[in-house]
Amino acid sequence: GAKSDGRRTYRFFEAGMDARAKARRGLELELRQAIADGGFELHYQPLLHLEGGTVSCCEALLRWRHPERGMISPADFIPIAEDTGLINDLGHWVLNTACREAVNWPDHVHVAVNVSPIQFKSQTLALNVAAALAASGLAAARLELEITEAVLIRDDEAALDILHQLRELGVRIALDDFGTGYSSLSYLQRFPFDKIKIDRAFIKDLGATGASSTIVQAVVNIAAASDMTTTAEGVETEQQRTMLRLLGCTEMQGYLFSRPVSGAEIRRLLSSDCEKAASVA
């Protein structure tokens, strides 16, 4: 009857939870090991000026080279690193590695680093950023920190305070994945962002429907009115690029130009991009 069915469902659920908890625990141990062993690497994806087409910035994207399972996507391990607090060590490594890599790039090219909400709230972010800049010798103005709306919703005052500390160091702040989650247009007025990254969800069907282009246009207008630039994420087609130029978006990032590539490859890409820019000038 209903009662025994219920019990069976409950037991099944419990067993499922147990397996999942075990898998997570396993992954957590492996993550710890990888942090100790240097199992992580950063890949870099260029952001391009929509006018002119030169590279303005490269975003550091974390990769875990697992000994048996190959490359593991950040979407699969960042949540676990966040739950366990490991994200602080990992984030620290990312920040330092990205800054050290970017000093090898042409001076006009910025580096963007993703900052987890946990890392953001850790109180030592500004200190860690200052230390990474000092250790690498990277100019503060070349570092962009990407944060998401998740850091803004809980405690406005504390978030604002941290953003101001970072601003004082001279680094730039980008609002990542704009338009997803808890988006509120009022954030754009209250917080000192330099850049808004418009989520891929709005870029995907640009041109196909009127709705997306209306939204992108609105974000571009609001950004321009507040001295912020805009980056379109996930640009995959020429049609999207054309639309974005017409809409007045500042930068694009996506597979159309380049996937995230290794440190060695990004150096090659940047040196040929510079030659191209010089030959046009």
Q: Binding of Mg ion at residue 144 (CB under 5 A)?
A: no
Residue number with CB closer to Mg ion (16 or 79): 79
Residue number with CB closer to Mg ion (30 or 266): 266
Q: Binding of ligand C2E at residue 176 (CB under 6 A)?
A: yes
| Member of 78, 125, 216, 244 binding ligand C2E (CB under 6 A) | 78
Query: How many angstroms separate the CA atoms of 107 and 42, rounded?
Result: 20
Stretch that binds Mg ion, among 125-133, 139-147, 224-232, 240-248 (CB under 5 A): 139-147
Could you identify the residue written with the tokens 């690498």?
136
Quick note: the x/- pattern for Mg ion over 180-219, rule CB under 5 A, is -------------------x--------------------
**DSSP strand E in the chain: where?**
40-49, 55-66, 70-72, 110-114, 143-147, 172-178, 195-198, 229-232, 251-252
Cα 163–169–172 angle (5° rounding)? 60
| Member of 30, 146, 149, 273 binding Mg ion (CB under 5 A) | 146
Contact 116, 87 (CB under 8 A): yes
| Member of 132, 254, 263, 270 binding ligand C2E (CB under 6 A) | 254
Least distance in angstroms from the C-beta of 58 to Mg ion = 11
Contact 48, 54 (CB under 8 A): yes
| Member of 54, 114, 136, 250 binding ligand C2E (CB under 6 A) | 114
Q: Binding of ligand C2E at residue 74 (CB under 6 A)?
A: yes
If contact means CB under 5 to 8 A according to the sort of partner, which of Mg ion, ligand C2E, none does residue 144 touch?
A: none
Contact 262, 43 (CB under 8 A): yes
Q: Binding of Mg ion at residue 101 (CB under 5 A)?
A: no
- Taking alpha carbons only, the member of 223, 251, 227 closest to residue 54 is 251
Residue number with CB closer to ligand C2E (205 or 275): 205
Q: Across the strands, what pairs with 217?
A: none
The residue count for the chain: 281
Query: How many angstroms separate the CA atoms of 150 and 60, rounded?
Result: 20
Which helix H or strand E contains 37, and what residues bound it? helix 2-37
261 DSSP 8-state letter: B
Please tell me whether residue 253 adopts helix, strand or coil conformation: coil
Q: Which residues bind Mg ion (CB under 5 A)?
A: 114, 146, 176-177, 199, 233
Q: Which positions touch ligand C2E (CB under 6 A)?
A: 45, 61-62, 73-75, 78, 91, 94, 114, 116, 146, 176-177, 233-236, 253-255, 260
